[in-house]
């Protein structure tokens, strides 16, 4: 069974631009969560989607948003990029919301210049 | 609310030596606990998990961890380190469909 896939793997953007990252969960998994990883703050929870609805949100500004499609694929969007948004963005999928076991993709490395 | 503290941002061992990575947690409900490993430029791979069954949990690559409620600890061990174990290790506690991670411990293995 294929794992979690994320595209693109690497991205370079300029301050003020916006970016969209994509995540395809493991086949059959219905819950998708996003995390931001930086050297200073570590791994931080962004949001969780289940059945095309955002179920949980971490402490991030409204510039960070996401959505989930009917096939469980998810996208996250960051508008008006800031230098501090440079990070590794990780997507994780799980079978159901009550499945505590999450499987991570390889991440998208975003660099904002 | 949950939190995780990993003692030591870096741990150095020699190949063949015991690996001990420390994790203490705080949780307002009975916790589910996890250890993940991250190799450079990769995502996180699940090593093992505690979900209120056996307190001694065995994972992949020879790692195991013991849940100690009285000490609120979930330390990760491996009897004999291998060069391929060099990576960053994260302890995490689960809330409902979210994970709260520790800051991570970089394991360095020398020949």
User: What is the pLDDT averaged over residues A56-76?
Assistant: 96
Is A106 at the interface with chain B, CB within 8 A?
yes
> Are A98 and B46 within 8 A, CB to CB?
no
Residue A73 has pLDDT above 80, yes or no: yes
* Whole-number pLDDT of residue B97: 67
Res A53 pLDDT > 80: yes
Round to whole Å and give the CA distance between A7 and A4: 10
Of A69, A72, A63, A66, the closest CA to residue A95 belongs to A72
Q: What's residue B60's pLDDT?
A: 94
Q: Which two tokens stand for residue B6?
A: 């990993």
Give the number of other Cβ atoms within 10 Å of residue A80's Cβ.
Answer: 11
Q: Cβ-count burial of B97 within 10 angstroms (0-12 exposed, 13-18 middle, 19+ buried)? A: buried
Q: Which of A51, A94, A100 to mutate: most B Cβ within 10 Å?
A: A100
* pLDDT tens-place values along chain B, 111 residues long: 789 999 999 999 999 999 999 999 998 777 899 999 999 888 999 999 998 778 899 999 999 999 999 999 999 999 999 999 999 999 999 876 678 999 999 999 999
Average pLDDT, chain A: 94
Structure tokens of B71?
């000490």
Per-residue b or e along B33-68, where b marks 16 or more CB atoms closer than 10 Å to that residue's CB? bbbbbbeeeebbbbbbbbeeeeeebebeeebbbebe
Residue B104, phi-psi category: left (phi > 0), alpha (psi -120 to 50), beta (remainder): left
Location of structure tokens 């631009």:
A17
User: A21-39 pLDDT, tens per residue?
Assistant: 999 999 999 999 999 999 9
The reply to whether residue A104 touches residue B43, judged by beta carbons under 8 angstroms, is: yes
Amino acid A99: pLDDT: 63
Q: If you search the block for the tokens 């996208």, which residue do you land on?
A: A75
**Residue B28 Cα distances to A19, B2, B35, B56, B93, angstroms:** 37, 7, 20, 22, 11
């Amino acid at each position: 069974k294929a794992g979690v896939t994320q595209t693109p793997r690497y991205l370079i953007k300029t301050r003020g631009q916006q970016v969209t990252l994509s995540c395809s969960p493991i086949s059959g998994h219905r819950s998708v969560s996003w995390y931001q990883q930086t050297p200073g703050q570590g791994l931080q929870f962004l949001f969780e989607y289940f059945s095309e609805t955002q179920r949980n949100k971490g402490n991030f500004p409204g510039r960070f948003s996401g959505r989930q499609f009917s096939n469980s694929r998810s996208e996250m969007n960051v508008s008006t990029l800031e230098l501090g948004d440079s990070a590794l963005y990780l997507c994780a999928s799980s079978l159901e919301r009550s499945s505590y076991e999450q499987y991570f993709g390889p991440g998208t490395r975003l660099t904002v210049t | 609310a949950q939190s995780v503290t990993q003692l030591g941002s870096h741990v150095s061992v020699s190949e063949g030596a015991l690996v001990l990575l420390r994790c203490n947690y705080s949780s307002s409900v009975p916790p589910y606990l996890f250890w993940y490993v991250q190799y450079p430029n990769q995502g996180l791979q699940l090593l093992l998990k505690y979900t209120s069954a056996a307190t001694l949990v065995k994972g992949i690559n020879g790692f195991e961890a013991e849940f100690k409620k009285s000490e609120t600890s979930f330390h990760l061990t491996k009897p004999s380190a291998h060069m391929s174990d060099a990576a960053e290790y994260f302890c995490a506690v689960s809330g409902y469909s979210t994970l709260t991670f520790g800051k991570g411990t970089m394991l360095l293995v020398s020949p």
